Each structure stands twice: as structure tokens, then as C-alpha cells.
Amino acid sequence: MTTSRKALIIGCGIAGPVVALFLQQVGIDAEIYESQPAGRDEAGAFLNLAPNGVNVLKALDIDHLLAADGFHSVGMDFFNGDGKLLAQLESSDEEERFGSRNVMIKRGRLQQVLRDEAIRRNIPVQYGKKLTGIQLNGFQNITARFEDGTSAEGNFLIGCDGIHSRTRQLILPNAPRPAYTGMVDCGGFAQCPAGLSTSGAMQMIFGKKAFFGYIAKPDGEVYWFSNVPWPKEPKRHELNAISADAWRQQLLHNHGNDPAPVPEIIESTPGEIGKWPVYDMPSLPTWHKGLVCLVGDAAHATSPHSGQGASLALEDAAVLAQCLRDSLKVEHGFAKFESLRRERVEKIVKQARRTGNGKMVTNPVAVWFRDLVLPFFIKQGAKASEEVLSYKVDWEKEVA
């Protein structure tokens, strides 16, 4: 492309730095603007970066940067609330099947690694830049205005600012809002209690009142999460008002009768336990408008039940850069990007919602039926995941 040389990137989470790195690969300068006053390297819980996501980082030759803090899961074991093993999935052969293995990593650490690599490659990152306005200046220039009174000019703007994207609100004010899924997610990190499985597989428990998952690192640190049914959408301040002790007691109420070591993990987790409502993104009428395009969660956020949120954002980054590389006009590149990505990501969003709904079953008859059919659905799901995990961006291929 010949008309665009500088990108304004809003958001420095997972998608933002990787978009900037791929744009750099195709000769487009980028600058990242983050609303937070500083990097939040301790924020959030953890995530599973799936093989398709790791393959994107491999295309940038930065996948090795995850080795110091990430580790691999060898599969998943599924149990009911009585501790009965229902099904198992193996993933130790992912390298051979998909070209990379999954990486379990703390979200804050992943964001830090990606941001630091962008900075190392001379991509500027500015903090405290909360977007308040977008102004078009003709057909080839755009201005971003920030709450602190400053502004930035570029040739196009990429919104990588998450599910509650300010970029999306500005360019698509009438678009659907994020949809609450009826669940509050939470998680933390603990030290390995007695009886904990150290098999390297993620342990998934359909508890009697809530869903629980955990995995132990080789050094004994436990990564865990709980999906708590919460019918009425809570406001952020309402969740934040629940004290650490009160939330711990709530979790113990939900999981106190679940098999060991679930209650012990909760009890042994020090400090605050993060908690947040779970949303996904209804289908938007478009992902772009003029010189502005949405990427990752800003365009198509999926609930965490898919294990694909971060990986889809990384895929977006690579495909968008390809489309801009191979298009004469920015708008054409954006349209091609959306056409290549929409069907795949919306299918995953819908499947994640179905998976999440299955975690909230508590009726005894429904629980009995779930336990009966789960092995079959796990096998079917494993087959369906082949298409998701085997996806690779062919960087050399012309897409437009």
C-alpha cells in the first residue's frame, strides 16, 4: 500500500503490541496509546495461549520469550461434583499436529513480554492516554484526542482496547453492547496443597454449585479459576465492594462440598482473589468505519470458555497487517480483513457461550444427563477443535 504510513493503536494489552509488530514487518510505523497510567503487569489471572496463537508469535520469532514464565498443559481431565472422572483429553502431541504447543501463562506477564518486545523494536508506547475523540482529516489522515488534552495524528487508527472498547463506542455508537453471560469469573494463584494432581493436565470440575479448574506448575504453584453463576449482571463497583474475606467465604460456600483439593486451593490462596463479570460480544454490523478498524476483543470478544480469546486477537494482528500490505487503500484492507476473519471468530464466540451455559447446570436430572453424555461431547469437541487449533496465517500469501 502507498497511502498509509503511520498507525495509531489504541490499547497496549495483548493485541496492540502484536498489531504494531506485524505492521512494522510490512513497513508501516505505529505508535501505541494506553489509557492506564502504567503497565498492569500483575493484573488479571492466567490464560491458555493455544497452538494457533503461539504460531502467530512464532511468525514474529518471539514465541521463545514465553519460555521463562509459561508452561505446557498435557491435557484436561473432567470430573463431576462427586470426584468421578468423566472424560479426558490429551494434548501432549500438539507440536506434531499443529506446529506448536499450548502455553499457560499469567495474563499480566504475557502483556509485559509483548509490550517490552514492541519497545525493544522501537515502537513507542504512551501511557495515560484515554481516548475521547476521533477526527477525520480528509481521506488519508486521522486525529485521536485524549482526555489529558493531547492528540496524535496518523494515517489510520486501530482499536485494540478490549471488550468495552472506547474506539468502538466512538465509531459505532448504535452497535450492540457487550452481552453479560450470567457468570462471574475469578481466579488466583496458590501453593500446591496435599493431594493435588501434578500430572500436567488441567483439572476441570463440574462442582455442585460452580465450575472449578486448576493446574499445577512444575514448581508447585497452582493456577486456578472458578466460574460462579450470577444471574443478575453485577456492576464493577458492586464486585469491588465485596471484601477479600467475604469473597473467599462465598467461594468456599460454592465449592465446600466439591472434591479435594478444591476447597484447600481456595483456602491457601493468599491476598485478594480477582473477580470480574463475564461478557462476550454480539455480532457487530461492521468492524471498521473509514480509517478506523477494530481488532480482537473490541470486535469479537469471546468468553473464556473457548480458551481462544488471546489467540484470536493474535491471529487478527497478522491478518490485518497482511491485508494492509496487499491493499492499495486502507478501507479495502479493513474490509478484506473482516471478510477473512468474521466467520471463524463468530463461530468460536457462539461455541464458547454454549460451553459456558453447560457449566451452570445444577438440576439433579440435568446433572445426571450431563455426566452421561459428556464423554461423547468431549470427543466431538476434540474433533471440532482440530480446525481451530490448526489455523495458521500464511504470511507469504497475498490476501487482497
pLDDT in tens, 258-300: 999 999 999 999 988 989 999 999 999 999 999 999 999 999 9
Structure confidence by residue, pLDDT tens digits, 210-261: 999 999 988 889 999 999 999 999 988 899 999 999 999 999 999 999 999 9
pLDDT in tens, 319-364: 999 999 999 899 999 999 999 999 999 999 999 999 999 888 889 9
Q: What digits encode the pLDDT tens for the residues 141-162?
A: 999 999 999 999 999 999 999 9
Looking at residue 369, its pLDDT comes to 92
At 382 the pLDDT is: 81
The answer to whether 359 and 305 are in contact (CB under 8 A) is yes
pLDDT score of 192 more than 60: yes
At a CB cut-off of 8 Å and minimum separation 6, what does 193 contact? Answer: 222, 261, 264, 265, 268
Q: What percent of the chain has pLDDT over 70?
A: 98
Task: Give residue 400's pLDDT band: very low, low, confident or very high (50, 70, 90).
Answer: low
pLDDT confidence bin for 140, thresholds 50/70/90: confident
pLDDT score of 1 more than 80: no
pLDDT tier at 397, thresholds 50, 70, 90: confident
Q: Average the pLDDT over 180-200 and give the result.
A: 85
Task: Determine the Cα–Cα distance for residues 4 and 141; give it in Å rounded to an integer.
Answer: 8
Domains and CATH numbers, the chain: 6-178+281-389 (3.50.50.60), 179-279 (3.30.9.30)
CB atoms within 10 A of CB 92: 13
Q: What is the number of residues in the chain?
A: 400
Per the prediction, the chain carries an average pLDDT of: 93
**pLDDT tier for residue 30 given thresholds of 50, 70 and 90:** very high
Q: Which residues of 163-187 are buried (b: 16+ CB within 10 A; e: fewer)?
A: bebbbbebbbeebeebbbbbbbbbb
C-alpha grid cell, residue 14:
495483548
Identify the pLDDT of residue 2: 44
Q: What is the pLDDT of residue 312?
A: 98
Q: Say what percent of the chain tops pLDDT 90.
A: 81
Sign of CA dihedral 70, 72, 76, 79: negative
On the question of pLDDT at 198 being above 90, the answer is no
Average pLDDT of 84-97? 93
Give the mean model confidence (pLDDT) for residues 377-385. Answer: 83
Confidence bin at 197 (pLDDT 50/70/90):
low
CA distance 272 to 206: 24
